[in-house]
Structure formats: structure tokens, C-alpha cells
Copies of this chain bind each other. A is one copy, B any other.
Amino acid sequence: MNAVQLIRNKREGKQLSADEIDFLVQSYTRGKIPSYQFSAFLMAGFLKGLDRKETAALTKSMLYSGIVIDLSSIKGRKIDKHSTGGVGDKTSLILAPVVAAAGVNVPMISGRGLGHTGGTLDKLESIPGFRTDVDLRKYKSIIKKCGAVLAGQTKEIAPADKLIYALRDVTATVESIPFITASIMSKKLAEGIDGLVLDVKTGSGAFMKRHEDALALADSLTHTAKAFGKRVIAYITDMNQPLGNYIGNWLEVYESIKILQGEKIDDLLELSLNLSGAMIHLGDKAKSIPEGIEIAKKMIESGKAFDKFLEIVKLQGGDVSFIKKPELYPKSKIREDIYAGKDGYVKEINSFELGMASIELGAGRFVMEDKIDPKAGIIFYPKIGQKVKKGELIAEIFTNKKDAVNHAKKKITDAVKISNKKIPPVKVIKSMVTYDLCALD
């Protein structure tokens, strides 16, 4: 096979065979074709597209560039969830204990904060002692013991993805649905899962701003999962406003504890129950999603989900005293309130700017070397459609960075648009996509 000919074929919009795609990926990963050829292929693929077969083939090549974890020695279904990322999205911390409490294994490999969104690993590491860098042996033993593990990606998982992503990042070939699909699925399929629930975000705080793009990505992800024989359900969910009210690492752990202890936080609870219900259903512990949701509710009400969370934290080295008594957690030096500037209805929230403000306060990184302040962040109360009064408390900020306060406060204030007219609230779940018939039983 000849790389130039394959690039030319893709340039002309021709379908590449699985072998041809594998040749390109393996050759690039092993340094046998230079990066300038692979980047030309990426740009041709970006502009001419990859169809479902090609996307599945790309996923497979990237998947088998590394190890695929075998969890067959562990009884029961293994189901994970993947979110495309949003502001205040802490559902992983809630789903893992809820779903594991219901008897479904949750082998979860997560990432760090990216752009304006937080990362599950950073959130977990705000719990003193919590270790996400577990090796394969420990990964399996933790699942075996408690039915869930919340781990970071190791070098053995889809190394081709890391190389290809780095090249996409510097060649303007990131925002391609086939490439995003292969990147996500190659890592998820390596976890040893039987099924996957996807949370594809859309709106101002999501990577996919437009609903049609989110739908196209959900379609591509579900078809690819199906091509690998996995059960799959995708939700398209709203990211025009932060999920829940807490943004920032420990703040999000804290809000997750509140949910696990039975507090009703409308959008966050609704989404957590739906995703849990779908996972429990795919994990064969419920005949339908609604039945799965009922089980999830019971796991929370009975305290089993919270106990499971304590168990996971303990097994991964975390200090459970802070989970049991969050009020013991260290406090930020600076805590300031933000008030509404006028009466009216919340019309729009720029979640992207809220995410950026929380990074400025210390909750995230601008460059890979930045240190995260686990306490930093924002509690943000308004929801679209909500009535607010001038002078009403709309947000609280937490930081140790004195210099960041004023700019962050302005960003947060400007992020909220208030209208005189009544505005309808937005639903957190927009639609669901599945091609796995069992999921619709």
C-alpha cells in the first residue's frame, strides 16, 4: 500500500477500505509514515468525510493500537457513560455509585479538564488522597470489590489516539465528527465494556453548539458502538446553562454528595437519574429505562448509593471524612457574592464564559503545567426562565487569587442576560438516540 495513493483517494472523496485505514494509522503510529502525510490525510478526511464503515475501521485501528482490557472474569455487565463535556457536569461522580449499587459494573476511564470544561479526574483528585492513576491489576480488583472504578487513562490505552489527537490539534482538524467518534470510542471500547450510555451536550457551554451537530455526533457514536456489538443509548442534553449550581472541582464533588444524599437539584437530578436508568437497563438490571430510573431513585433513597461512593473513595485511597462531613473541607481565602443587576427573567446564560471564569479563579488550567486549586469555583444559581429581582444573590465565587476576582465577577455578571418578558425554562434532556433494540424494550 502507498500512503500518497490513499491520501489521493480520500482527497477525491473515495471510500478507503478497513485495511487501507489500518495501514495509515499503524504506519503513522509506528513512525513509518511521516506526520506531514498523516496530516494531509486528516485534512482530506476532514473535508471529504469518512462514512460509517470508515469511521468504524478508524476506531478499530486506534483501539487496537493499545490494549483492550478483558473484564470477562468479573461477573455481570459492565456499562460506562461518556459525556462530551460541559460546565458543571459532575454526573460521573453520581452515576458510578448509583449504578454500581444497583449491581451493574461501572469501569470508568475519564479525562482531565479540557478548554472551558472541568474533568472528572481533577474533580476526584480534590478529595485528599484519591488516586486515579491505578494500574490494570488494581483497576480490575477495585471493580471486583465494589462494582466501579474511576480511573485515568494509561499509556496502554489507545496510544494512536493520543498521537493523532495531538496532530489534529495543530493542523485544524479537530472538529470532525468521524475523528471525534473514533477518538471517543477507541478509548471507551478499550475499557472492557458491554455497553455505553452517551451524553452528547449541545448549547453555549458545549463543544457542539448546534443541535444538529450534536445529533450527528450521537448518530455516529451509536452506529460505531453498534458496529462493535455494544449496547448503546445516546442522550442529547442541554448545555445552554451549567448543570446543577456548582462549578469547580471540590464544589462539584460537594454537589454530587448532596444528590447522593437525596437532595433535589432539578436538572442535575433529572439527568443523573436518566443516565443511571439507561445504564442499569443496559446492564440487564432493569427491563426498561423507566424501570432503571426507579431503581436508581431507590439506590439514592436507601442510602446505598452514598455508601457505595464512600466505598469507592476509600478503595481509591481517598479520605472519606470529607465525604461524610464536607464542612471540614478547607475554605478559599476569598469568597464574594454577585447580585442581579435588574429585575426580570433569565433569558440567556453564557456557560462558556462561566467555565472560563472558573478557570480564572483557579479551578482549571490555561496551560498543561497550571496547578489546580481544588477549592476554587463558582456557585451559580440562576436557571433560564427563572424570575430574579435586582440585588438578589445570583452567584458566589471562591478563590485564593485576589487578582482574578474583579475580572471573574464581571465575566459572571455579563454571562447572564435578563429580559423583561417571560422566558420558558429549558429541558435538560432534548432527545435520545439508540440503535440497540434491547434499549427500547
Contacts and interface: CB of A to CB of B under 8 A. Distances in A.
Interface of A: 3-5, 7-8, 11, 34-40, 42-44, 46-48, 167, 169-173
Contact residues of A: prevailing secondary structure: helix
A38 B170 CA distance: 11
Contacts of A8: 172
Contact of A35 (B5, B34, B48, B172): B34
A62 B169 CA distance: 27
Contacts of A48: 47
Q: Which 3 A-B pairs have the closest CB atoms?
A: A43-B43, A40-B171, A8-B172
Chain B CB count within 10 A is highest, among A38, A172, A173, for A172
26 contacts: A3-B170, A4-B169, A4-B170, A4-B172, A5-B172, A7-B171, A8-B172, A11-B47, A11-B172, A11-B173, A34-B35, A34-B36, A35-B35, A36-B36, A36-B38, A36-B167, A36-B170, A36-B171, A37-B170, A37-B171, A40-B43, A40-B172, A43-B44, A44-B47, A47-B47, A47-B48
Contacts of A4: 169-172
Contact of A46 (B5, B11, B46): B11
Contacts of A170: 3-4, 34, 36-37
Contact of A7 (B37, B38, B172): B172
Contacts of A40: 39-40, 42-43, 171-173
Contacts of A42: 40
A15 to B, nearest CB: 16
Contacts of A34: 35-36, 170
Given A4-B170, A7-B172, A47-B48, 9 more contacts: A4-B169, A8-B172, A11-B47, A34-B36, A40-B40, A40-B43, A40-B172, A40-B173, A43-B44
A7 B43 CA distance: 10
